[in-house]
Amino acid sequence: MKLDGKIALVTGGASGIGKATVMELARSGALVICADVNAEKGAELVAEAAATNFAVEFLPVDLADQGSTRRCAAEALRRHARVDILVNAAGWNDIQPFVENAPDYMDRVIAINLGGTLHLTHALLPAMIAAGKGKIVNVSSDAGRVGSSGETTYAAAKGGVIAFTKSLAREVARYSINVNCVCPGPTDTPMLQSRPDKLKEAFIKAIPFRRFAKPQEIADAILFFAGPRSDYVTGQVLSVSGGLTFAG
């Protein structure tokens, strides 16, 4: 798949699914902006990409902060005038019963997983509309599709991302802008590795393929929605979970 001449922005791009997506888009020829709260890891990714002659830039963003999110969008447009491909891949949560969620924790989970996606998309969308084209790929979660014990606030936020995807797709189809959503199941990322071993073992037993997804496997699904092979696909939600939720 060729994405030569395309400008892409990936949130959460310094690690996990986001990093795999940055590298895959760059490998396909796009200039990719990695937007992440971790500047150190972002710099490491830029250096890694440069070693393979991939075009990757870094922009700092704290998706929990509306001002930071808007500044990130403004700087991306200042540098390149447009973003052709937006991948809202960042996500964050903890595992705990809903009744134990502190109000500040709930606010942060919703801000990062839903609010950041809304604000960044809102800021970048006018340039896509003016161009009469664009690809937006939102990374939700199967928790948002079918629910997940211990992740209720996260599931609520990610469910909102799914609804946002479908509604926005209807609004912007007239401008030839595609909006689609990828829902990963448990994936071998730093966030998953921080979970207790007992929880990870339970996940493995529940997944028909008996293994976690690799970040690259999620990136492959994102690349499909970001590239020309999905030009007639919009408003869709694709689960990539090894069969964990196919009955959901």
Residue type, 157: A
In the chain, where does DSSP find H-type helix? 16-27, 39-51, 66-80, 103-110, 116-131, 142-146, 152-172, 190-193, 197-206, 215-226
Q: Which of 225, 118, 232 is nearest to 182 (CA)?
A: 225
Which residues, in sequence order, are CB contacts of 241 under 8 Å at separation 6+?
A: 142, 183, 184, 185, 186, 207, 213
**Cβ–Cβ under 8 Å, residues 234 and 168:** no
Cα dihedral sign, 27-229-162-6: positive
Q: Which of 54, 48, 60 is nearest to 24 (CA)?
A: 54
Q: Which residue has the tokens 């990610």?
A: 158
User: Where in the sequence numbering do the catalytic residues fall?
Assistant: 154
Relative orientation angle of helices 152-172 and 103-110, to the nearest 10 degrees = 30
